Each structure stands twice: as C-alpha cells, then as structure tokens.
Structure 1
Amino acid sequence: MSVLEIKDLHVSVETDQGTKQILRGVNLTINEGEIHAIMGPNGSGKSTLAYTIAGHPKYHVESGSILLDGAEVLTMTVDARARAGLFLAMQYPVEIPGVTVTNFLRTAKTAIEGEAPPIRTWIKDVRQAMTNLRMDKTFAERNVNEGFSGGEKKRNEILQLELLKPKFAVLDETDSGLDVDALKIVSEGVNRAKANTGLGLLLITHYTRILRYIHPDFVHVFVNGKIAEQGGPELADRLEDEGYDRFLVPSNVG
C-alpha cells in the first residue's frame, strides 16, 4: 500500500519585507485510497503546502520531510515527483499557448510511463474521459486552457487526473469558481479516479459543498501554518456552522 508522509514540515517564502515563515511544523499521513480534506481561513498556508509538495521553487523548505513510499520527495525534481506518482490540480490553471490538449496529455503520459501509450487505446481513453466530464470533443485540439472558462479549466485538470493515474493528488481549491453542475461533474471525475486506481487525495477547500460529493475520511483544520484540529467528516459540518473564530483567538495561535 502506498503512503504519503509529511513530517514536521517548516516552509518559508521571500517577500519584499524579508523571509516569512508560512508552514510551522505540518504532520500528515495519507494512505492509498484515503481522502483528507484540509480546511482553513485565507492565508493559513494551505496552498503553500500544496505547492511545496509539488516542488514550486518559490517555497523554501527550512526543515522536515515529505516521503512517498519511503523515498524523500524534497530531493526530487518536479518532473521526478510526477513520475513517482504525485499530481497537483492547481487553483488557477495556467494557459499554455501553442500546445494542444491532445499533445499535452500524450506527452505527459509518455514522460510518466517512460513510453508512449498505444495510439488506438489512448485515443479511446481520452475520448471516454472527455465524455465523462461533459467536455466537447473540440477541446482536444484547443490550446491548453487558452480561452477556457474557469469551469472548463477545472474539468481539464480532472481530465489529466483521470488519464495520468497518479498515486496521490492534491486538489487546491478545485471547487472555486464552479457552479453546481460543474461541481458535480468535477466531483464525479475525482471519485472515478479514486475508484479506478486507489488514488490518495488531499483536498484543499474553504467550503463544505464539495464534501457533499467527495466524502472525506479525515478533515484537518489548517490555521497559522499548521494543523490545529483534525477529525472525521462531522468536523467539516461544525466548521460550516461555527467558522474558524475559535481557532483564531490568541490562546489557540502558535
């Protein structure tokens, strides 16, 4: 069974005002097939955690470790992390002019697997995944995210998730900007990926609405760069009712 372990992770970033510490000792273990939701107020470090796992060069790891099946992720290049089985669905997917969705997907799959997928099987898989996500077939020949709506960009992220089949995926506020219909479609795609591959999932969100469709095994409250409380799905309901105020009083901040 695959496992992703985050151990006492401290991360900082350089700002105009100098070095700013963002993560202050994060500990989290995600096993294959588990869904962990991270919820917290703006500025609490949730996206920093996501980008640190993915290897964004902006974030400096001061101490701690990220292990994937016992291998140190922090020593891996970004592409090596992807080949090892990590995937990040970005909050704000970027446009890639001049690169079609079809070419992007096949190139990524080839890089991860070490060989190109059989063309007939691949075309069938791509078409089926696009149909499942209610994506018009013309999207395959459009440039990646160029001119896409917010919802279309998020569906394209989940299209990659379904086809690249990572071991663990981090979804950074994938629900932001989605209407109810798009949210359901995206959630169905995530649930399919989990059912088909045993995907482990770290789901970052502000709201409980996506948790109505993607049911977490564990919920973690992220405040001031670390996990302030954790529990089961019922914790998300409590946060919906009470908000984060009780975590932000001086006695709970450290």
Structure 2
Amino acid sequence: MLEIEDLHVTVADKPILKGLNLTVPAGEVHAIMGPNGAGKSTTSYTLAGREGYEVTSGAIRFKGEDIVDLPPEERAAKGMFLAFQSPIEIPGVTNMNFLKAAVSSQARLRGEKEPGPAEFLKMVRAAAKTLNVSEDMLKRPLNVGFSGGEKKRNEVLQMTLLKPYLAVLDETDSGLDIDALKLVAQGVNALRSPERSFLVITHYQRLLDYIEPDVVHILAGGRIVKSGDKTLARALEDHGYDAVIGKAA
C-alpha cells in the first residue's frame, strides 16, 4: 500500500527527514512514535503533499505509484487521507456542507456517481451516530467552537465517509479524554479491512491499547531507528526513549 524509500525532506531549508524507509502493506496498521522534533508530523504532511515540505531525494509509492510530484487533491482522490493534529476552523462553511463537498469532489475525481442529497444525508447521519457527532455539530460552522474531542471525532467522521485506502492519523489522540479516545479508536477499528491501511502517529502508548497495531516504529533523527510489535510502545512508556534506543533519540 505505502512504500517510503530513502526519503529526505527539508522544511524552510532545514533537513528534517534524513533517509526515512517505511513499508505499510495493505490491511495493516502501523504506528510511529518518537521524541519531539523527530519528524513525525513532517512525515504526515509530506505524505499529504503539504506546501513547504520539500522532498530533496527518495520516493513515496502509494499503491505502486510514485506520488512525490502529485498535488494534495490528487493524492486524496487516489485514496489517501490525513487526520490533522489540530483541525482548523472554517467560519461560514457548515460541517454538513463541507462533508458533502468533500465526498462529491472525490466521487467526481474518481469518475464515480455522486450521492444524492437523501442518500448522503442517510450516510452521514448513520456514521455520525456511531461517533457521537450530534446533529448540532453537523449544522455548525466547520470546527468552530468545537472542543478538542469534537474536532477529532469530526476528523474520523470525514475518514468514515471518504473511505480512504490509506489513513494517516497525526496525533489524533492529542488532548483527548479517555471517552473521546475510545470513540476515535472505535471509528478507526470499524474501518479496518484487508484493502485499507493505517499509519498512526502518536506520542502515547494509550491509543495503541485500543487500536492494535501490527507494527510499531520509532522515528528519531529523521529516520526509523527501531521497529517491533506493540510491546515496543509499552517499553517506551515504561522506560523512555533513551533507555530503549539510546543516543538515536
């Protein structure tokens, strides 16, 4: 599903990723953990094609296609999704209208039939109910006045409706209480399938108690320095980065 090969990325002329190698097969959930400044968010933004994140060398292959030169909207249309660490607020655009525009836009880019108003309303209400997203949240301006938990649940709602092949969650657990964390994890787990992969970027082991990863990677100094099963995340929680990976952190 995703292959990153010897990826080097600079931001404002500063090297951040320094030879990142990562493979996420179809149907698997991989987690990335790492100390502050390791390059975790840079990895997610680079995958999404965010402006200002310059790939100086290396390759990113998504479903076998090198996407380094593709704009964000084409990556999204091909089935890549990024859940932001800090979702932005957009006054004047209701959550419902935003969701409808996103779903319709992707359908058009993929050459698929757009859902009609009644069909879409049924889809969004069913998904919203499972994530505890209220009718009021759907009618309000996008993320405006939302709590941290509401913003993150809304991100997972978007993911549920768009049904990406690869979902990248950039510290989606940041600022969540335990109930909101469980709801977010529930939404992710409901979408797990042999055709869909997840890359979960997190500081904390607690999210991985609810989203069972196939592999945990430690990112330090702009590259993957260690990989293992979920016990690696527990070791980090118990002993810290220095004890687990030494000077690489």
Pairing of 1:171-210 with structure 2 (within 5 A): 171-195=169-193, 198-210=195-207
**Structure 1 equivalent of residue 48 of structure 2:** 54
* 3-state SS, counterpart of residue 203 of structure 1: strand
Structure 2 residue runs without a partner (length 5+):
none
Aligned sequence identity (%) = 51
2:26 aligned to 32, 35, 40, which one? Answer: 32
1:233 is displaced (CA, Å) by 1.2
1:106 is displaced (CA, Å) by 1.0
**Structure 2 equivalent of residue 101 of structure 1:** 95
1:157 equivalent to 2:127? Answer: no
1:247 is displaced (CA, Å) by 5.9
**Structure 1 equivalent of residue 72 of structure 2:** 78
* 3-state SS, counterpart of residue 74 of structure 1: coil
1:33 is displaced (CA, Å) by 1.2
* 1:15-52 alpha-carbon deviations (Å, 9 max, x no partner): xxxx2100011111111210000001111000000000
Runs of 4+ that moved beyond 4 A: 247-250
* 3-state SS, counterpart of residue 37 of structure 1: strand
Contact map agreement 1:106 1:116 (CA 8 A) in 2: no
Query: In structure 2, what is the Cα distance between the partners aligned to 1:116 and 1:198?
Result: 22
1:118 is displaced (CA, Å) by 2.6
Pairing of 1:67-146 with structure 2 (within 5 A): 67-114=61-108, 115-146=113-144
Q: TM-score if structure 1 supplies the norm length?
A: 0.93
Q: TM-score if structure 2 supplies the norm length?
A: 0.95
Matched residues, number = 245
2:222 aligned to 222, 225, 246, which one? Answer: 225
Contact map agreement 2:26 2:195 (CA 8 A) in 1: yes
Query: In structure 1, what is the Cα distance between the partners aligned to 2:214 and 2:244?
Result: 22
Letter paired with 1:228:
V
1:20 aligned to 10, 14, 19, which one? Answer: 14
1:9 equivalent to 2:7? Answer: yes
1:147 equivalent to 2:141? Answer: no
Query: In structure 2, what is the Cα distance between the partners aligned to 1:92 and 1:199?
Result: 24
Query: In structure 2, what is the Cα distance between the partners aligned to 1:90 and 1:138?
Result: 22
* 1:179-233 alpha-carbon deviations (Å, 9 max, x no partner): 00000011100111224x7420000001110001000000000101100100111
Letter paired with 1:140:
L
RMSD of the alignment, in Å? 1.3
